[in-house]
Amino acid sequence: MTVFKLIILLAFIFPVTFVFGQKKKIAKLPDHLKEISGLAFLNDTVLIAHNDGGNNATLYFLNLLGVQIHSVLVENAKNKDWEDITIDAKGFIYIADIGNNGNNRENLCIYKINSLGILKKTSVIAEKISIRYSEQKEFPPDVTNLHFDAEAIAFFNDSLYIFTKCRTEPFDGKSFCYTVSTKPETYKLIKDFDLYIGNEGWWKDCVTGAEIKNNKAYILTYNRILIYTITKGKFKFSKNITLTTVSQYESIAINSKGVIYIADEKNKLLGGGYLYIVEEPKEKKK
**Of 10-14, 20-24, 49-53, 62-66, where does mean pLDDT reach its minimum?**
10-14
pLDDT at 174: 97
Percent of the chain topping pLDDT 70: 91
Residues of the chain with pLDDT > 90, as a percent, come to 85
CA dist 142 and 139 (Å) reads 9
pLDDT at 285: 55
Question: Using one digit for the tens of pLDDT, what is the confidence trace for 124-155?
Answer: 999 999 999 999 999 999 999 999 999 999 99
In whole angstroms, what separates CA 188 from the centre of its chain?
A: 21
Q: What pLDDT score was predicted for residue 20?
A: 46
Determine contact, residues 7/246, Cβ cutoff 8 Å.
no
Percent helix, strand, coil in the chain, to 5, is: 10, 45, 45
Q: Tell me the pLDDT tens digit for each residue of 175-191.
A: 999 999 999 999 999 99
Q: What is the pLDDT of residue 15?
A: 35
Taking the C-alpha atoms of residue 201 and residue 171, their distance in angstroms, rounded to an integer, is 7
Write down the pLDDT at residue 230: 98
Q: How confident is the model at residue 202 (pLDDT cuts 50, 70, 90)?
A: confident
pLDDT at 210: 98
H or E stretch including 168? none
| Nearest-angstrom CA–CA distance, 153 and 145 | 21
Q: 135 — alpha (psi -120 to 50), left (phi > 0) or beta?
A: alpha
Return the domain boundaries, the chain: 2-279
Residue 74 pLDDT > 50, yes or no? yes
Instruction: State the average pLDDT over residues 190-215.
Output: 94
* Mean pLDDT score across all residues of the chain: 91
Could you tell me the sign of the dihedral formed by the alpha carbons of 42, 71, 51, 280, in that order?
Answer: positive
151 burial type by CB count under 10 A (0-12 exposed, 13-18 middle, 19+ buried): buried
Residue 112: pLDDT band (50, 70, 90) is: very high
Confidence of residue 195 (pLDDT cuts 50, 70, 90): very high
pLDDT at position 18 is 36
pLDDT of residue 245 exceeding 50: yes
Q: 109-114 and 92-97: which strand pairing?
A: antiparallel
CATH 3.40.50 fits 2-279, yes or no: no
pTM above 0.85, yes or no: yes
Please give the average per-residue pLDDT across 34-52, as a whole number.
98
pLDDT value at residue 286: 52
Instruction: Give the residues across from 234 on adjacent strands.
Output: 231
pLDDT of residue 22 exceeding 80, the answer is no
